[in-house]
Structure 1
Amino acid sequence: AARAGAGDPQALVAPWLDRPADTIRVVLGPQDDAFAADQIAAFLDGPWTVAGRGDRMACFLDGPRLTHARGHDIVSDGIAMGAIQVPGEGLPIVLMADRQSTGGYPKIATVIGPDLGRLAQAQAGTRLRFAAVSIADAVAARRAEAACLAPEIRVEPVVRTAFPSELLLGLNLVDGVVDARR
């Protein structure tokens, strides 16, 4: 668990694990020019809901359907992890770790690195919005994440003073099978 048990029960032992996915930061592009300004605004306003059909390849989003200014087919080009494609149906798809290497739909934005894990861990039904940031802001967020992960992790031993029956019944107190006849 990410929360401390000894002192303050609300103190985070691992603050980087407290990652609600309510706002996901993105850098617009590389094909945001394939969308009118009102469609960029609709993308950023959302709200979006994480669909149940996502996997390691992609996170599918439900929400307002976006329209393309110049059609939804482009010449296939490389896809970075976190790229957000908008196919012809108008619902964004965030491409994740096992994404394809190239794709032919316009990419309206790209999720910044520090927010990818938050989105990847979002459960189906999670509602979120996107916030556009500059490349400088994305780099600063990456540096802040690295600084947060750099210190040694504090380890706190669990000391039990009570052994309720619920705890004992949940433990495997027998290691292996014993033959009582021997």
Structure 2
Amino acid sequence: ISACEKGGQWQKALVLLRAMPGLRVDPDRYSYNAAILATGMGGNWQLALSLFHEMTAVGLEQDRVSYNSIIDGLFERPMALQLFFDASRKGIYPVVNPQPNIIDVHTFSTGPAVIAVRCWLSRMLSRSAHTPLRVVTGWGKHWKAYGTDFALYSGIELLLEELGLVVDRKRQGSLLARLPRSSFDAGRPRRGG
């Protein structure tokens, strides 16, 4: 099923998952997680969500990989935010703020990381617009475990740029973001006139 997911063959992944009981093999969390990721990344987010909920119905507990898989498959959809909050309440995603102006998402997959950073930025930019904000993405050690290569770094970088932040890429493993200078000047009265 994982090979089907990596090869973009979500239909075959689903066929294998459904064939397992007939072969006297109970689908486990790993097979469900792979099928969820395959269907979600294959664009069939409704089926991915159905498989995610089916896990509970068959007595399997969703773990971090389950939440990463479902959120990666539909993180641009509104329900991804609710899934992220549900996972956070369950302790699936740890507290990621070692300091107020730093968020560490290096162990997250791309979908949950983008959601976490977006929520954090909405709080931080209103409180401390002048303070540079650091997003720790890591150097790639954990990314390979999720099969995302540099998607995490790129996804966060794209989010920061879409929000109009100035991004400093000088530090390996993290991004430094701040509001553009024009944002500070906009509220300041002009001199001499």
Q: Whose RCO is larger (CA < 8 A, sep 6+)?
A: 1
Same fold at TM > 0.5: no
TM-score by length of 2: 0.28
Task: State the structure with more CA Rg.
Answer: 1
TM-score by length of 1: 0.29
Greater strand proportion: 1
Greater helix proportion: 2
